[in-house]
Structure 1
Amino acid sequence: MSKARNTDLPTEAIAVKYDMLSPMLDSALLEMREFSKKKQDGVLNPLKVKVLNRLLSDIKEILSSDPSTEYLDILDDESLPQNSDAVLILGQFRAAMNQFRGKYYGYYGGTHRWLTVENPKI
């Protein structure tokens, strides 16, 4: 694992928000994969797009200092994406979240924890 500088570290609040949103992203990705298996070209309804975009926007905020955000797009709420499009986008968000966690979460001082601005010591 590469060592991050203290100025690059997330805050405790970001780590807490990550831990809250990560399982929500997993659930959304699982559901969208199921929808896509049944009807790949099915179109999402506006409510699903709104719910997913709220989640994705919060995740983009968490990852705002990470270069991966340049490649993360939320769902288009005007042209309503197909199920397969949503799976692709959610998968990209999952990959970015995994990369972020790999950078800042690990086994330090005998325990698994986040490296944060408030608790940076390795």
Structure 2
Amino acid sequence: MAKAKNTSLPTDAVVAKFDMLYPMINSALDEMREFSKKKQDGVLNPLKVKVINRLLDDIKEVLSADPSTEYLDLLDDESLPQNSDAVLILGQFRAAMDQFSKKYYGHHDGVGYSRRWSTVEKP
């Protein structure tokens, strides 16, 4: 009897996108923290909001099956958020990504010490 695939696991494609986006969210968060240190109430320009929201949209897509996504909001492109608002939102997205990673990346049985993603293709 064939073993049923665990559809609650992410796919290899989702994991590949996660791995691409994770350093990008870290970079964006680091940059916004620096801006916030210099001028906490400084307002983001429309280009920064657009670039950050594009990143956040892709992250929401990767995390779409995770319940945390209902608490993840994009930056408001009409009222243009302050630097500190962007830091808060980026931090929430990174926390959700960290939670996702802890849930699906870890130790696996096999030869020696092995850490890898658990995916639909490789449960």
Q: Does 1:85 align with 2:85?
A: yes
Pairing of 1:1-122 with structure 2 (within 5 A): 6-108=6-108, 109=110, 110-120=113-123
Q: Give percent identity, aligned residues only.
A: 78
Shift in Å, 1:111: 1.8
Shift in Å, 1:20: 0.4
Deviation readout 1:46-93 (Å, 9 max, x if unpaired): 000000000000000000000000000000101100000000000000
The one-letter amino acid paired with 2:116 is R
The one-letter amino acid paired with 1:118 is E
Gapped regions of structure 1 (runs ≥ 5): none
Partner SS state of residue 10, structure 1: coil
Partner SS state of residue 8, structure 1: coil
Question: Normalised by the size of structure 2, how large is the TM-score?
Answer: 0.92
Q: Following the alignment from structure 1 to structure 2, what is the Cα–Cα distance between the partners of residues 60 and 78?
A: 20
Deviating beyond 4 angstroms after TM superposition, the runs of 4 or more aligned structure 1 residues are none
**What RMSD, in angstroms, separates the aligned Cα atoms of the two structures?**
1.0
Q: Following the alignment from structure 2 to structure 1, what is the Cα–Cα distance between the partners of residues 107 and 30?
A: 28
Question: Normalised by the size of structure 1, how large is the TM-score?
Answer: 0.93
Larger radius of gyration between Structure 1 and Structure 2: 2
Deviation readout 1:13-70 (Å, 9 max, x if unpaired): 0000000000000000000000000000000000000000000000000000000000
Aligned length: 116
Q: Following the alignment from structure 2 to structure 1, what is the Cα–Cα distance between the partners of residues 117 and 60?
A: 19
The one-letter amino acid paired with 1:53 is N
